[in-house]
Amino acid sequence: MSRDDSPLPDAGPPAGADPIRVLLVDDHAMVRSGFSMMLSVEDDIEVVGEAANGAEAVVVARETRPDVVLMDVQMPVLDGIEATRRVVAEDLGRVVILTTFDRDDYLFDALDAGASGFLLKNAEPDQLVDAVRVVGRGSGILAPEVTRRVIERMTGERAAPRRPDPPGLARLTEREREVFVLVGRGLSNGEIAARLFLGEATVKTHVSSCLAKLHLRDRVQAVVLAHEAGLISPKEA
């Protein structure tokens, strides 16, 4: 998958870039410690704070202004969904949800709250590092297995009611609309390029144009909007 929709082994930092500032949020100290050790050895990543629940996360985010918040979901005091909503509302950082899919019922709510990505807790260390880099540099991330499960929830048991077409949808060109629909189905830039017989650079340009015209932060929001607008049917997903 391409760099702006999933972690890649070569998703290294731009030359001369400032370190990506990361806030770790999990109610288990050992989990936070493990993530901290994985990330702190990277020259371009700096762990600037930790929090044991969502309420602490908002406070620490205000103090540290991280680029990326790695957010657990199930926590005491304030869960990760509401914490994500507050962090995003105050523009305190981009949130990556850390989840164990089989037990987590809050993924759709996390998308609504403004999460920029999802990462499974059993991901490999290099996936965690690459995810931080991808989101920290301004892109969204949906791992393939996460994308498919999110789509299943949105088009199946928890399908959202169709909402009116967003104003920007009419401004998309025919090709941009094609690309947008495929993004909504969870395809990577590489997969879209193969499907439409385009170069990946061209697809990336179309994706960026779609996000700008629809006022979306990243392709995570694009997946939600495509389904809520009724552009993707359950059968297509």
pLDDT tens-digit series, residues 82-97 = 999 999 999 999 999 8
* Residue-wise pLDDT tens digits, 50-103: 999 999 999 999 999 999 999 999 899 999 999 999 999 999 999 998 877 655
H/E segment holding residue 20: strand 20-25
Q: How far apart are CA 220 and CA 237, in angstroms?
A: 15
User: Which residue shows structure tokens 């999802």?
Assistant: 118
User: Which residue shows structure tokens 């920029």?
Assistant: 116
Single-letter amino acid code for the residue at 135: V
* Residue-wise pLDDT tens digits, 177-202: 999 999 888 787 888 999 999 998 89
Regarding pTM above 0.75, the answer is no
Tokens matching residue 202: 């061209």
Give the domains, in start order, of the chain with CATH numbers.
20-142 (3.40.50.2300), 167-228 (1.10.10.10)
172: nearest Cα among 222, 102, 132: 222
Q: How confident is the model at residue 6 (pLDDT cuts 50, 70, 90)?
A: very low
